[in-house]
Amino acid sequence: MGAGKTRLGKQLSEALNLPFIDSDAQIEQKEGRNITEIFQTNGEAYFREKEVEFVRELAEKNEFVCATGGGLPCFHNLMQELNKIGTTIYLRNSTETLVKRLYNEIDKRPILAELSPVERAGFIANAVSEREPVYEMSKFSLNENEQTIEKISSLLLHC
């Protein structure tokens, strides 16, 4: 959350003239409701199954740029599946950067809205710490100062 997946994904898809796919947006469209409603009504297990379905459908597509929800790679061995489908990139950011980026998006992130600023920082740091071993299974990893379309394009040229 807040790593820049959607922003960079859209820029990359435009630069490469490829379709952009966002897992959360696709699931919301298919379900006819937003992620928060899905979680509240059907729970996390249901949502994670929808992510599995999304990845199965993704495997049938050719040439695209995709941004996944932050938790998607961490369940049902989906990181391994994503690595089979294409080139995966972990956008590594510091907790401080993520907190700053998410500051103005509190209304779009209900889980963060309920927390104090200190609790938000702790929540984000904990989420990154828990998920990082899976994220590091990505084919490439880019630190904050490397997250440019030029850098990503050069990585893709060497695949």
Domain count, the chain: 1
Q: Would the pLDDT of 94 be above 90?
A: yes
Which token pair is 139?
A: 């084919």
Inside any domain, residue 10: yes
Inside any domain, residue 47: yes
Q: What contacts 106, CB < 8 A, 6 or more positions away?
A: 112, 113
Inside any domain, residue 134: yes
Inside any domain, residue 151: no
Inside any domain, residue 28: yes
Helix or strand (DSSP H, E) at 22: strand 20-22
**Burial of 25: CB neighbours in 10 Å, binned 0-12, 13-18, 19+:** middle
* Whole-number Å distance between alpha carbons of 61 and 48: 20
CATH number at residue 103: 3.40.50.300
Residue-wise pLDDT for 19-37, tens only, equals 999 999 999 999 999 998 9
Chain-centroid distance of CA 109 in Å reads: 14
Inside any domain, residue 53: yes
Overall pTM surpassing 0.85 (yes/no): yes
- Domain span at 59: 5-145
